[in-house]
Amino acid sequence: MNESLSAKLREIIAAYFGVSPGCLTNDSDFRDDLGADRLDRLELMIAIEDQVAGIEIDDVVVDQIDTIGDLMHVIEGAGNGGLRMRQGSRIADGAAISACSLAPKGRGLG
């Protein structure tokens, strides 16, 4: 996976859950380590779609993503269904994340 895309995804995940990107590993479990329920994961996937140009993750696939590594594999395997990447996909310019924008309990971007 492109190193800048991987870093961007970790930034989005870290901001959503209110943790440091350095604390996240491919083995970090969304439910067990970050306390995410299905709705949290759906909202996170929407945030990723909004901030990384060209990525669309089907809701059905969200249930198969348990760890950050799972998410990275889904994005890497974009041609295998469940995730669509538009031609010319790249990280959106100006999609900066501020730790100051975290919602209560450290969840949400906005």
pLDDT above 70 for 12: yes
Q: Is there a domain that residue 103 lies in?
A: no
Q: Calculate mean pLDDT across residues 50-66.
A: 88
Domain that holds residue 12: 3-94
Q: Calculate mean pLDDT across residues 28-49.
A: 94
Q: Is there a domain that residue 38 lies in?
A: yes
Higher pLDDT, 93 or 43: 43
pLDDT value of position 102: 27
Q: Is there a domain that residue 42 lies in?
A: yes
Q: Is there a domain that residue 101 lies in?
A: no
How far apart CA 108 and CA 89 sit, in angstroms, is 24
CATH code assigned at 85: 1.10.1200.10
Q: Is there a domain that residue 61 lies in?
A: yes
Q: Is the pTM of this model over 0.85?
A: no
Higher pLDDT, 19 or 108: 19
Q: Is there a domain that residue 18 lies in?
A: yes
Higher pLDDT, 89 or 67: 67
68-78 confidence digits (pLDDT tens)? 999 998 888 75
Q: Is there a domain that residue 87 lies in?
A: yes
Higher pLDDT, 74 or 87: 74
Contacts 24+ apart (CB under 8 A), 72-78: 72/1, 72/6, 72/9, 72/26, 75/1, 75/5, 75/9, 76/1
Going by pLDDT thresholds of 50, 70 and 90, the confidence category of residue 101 is: very low
Domains identified in the chain, total number: 1
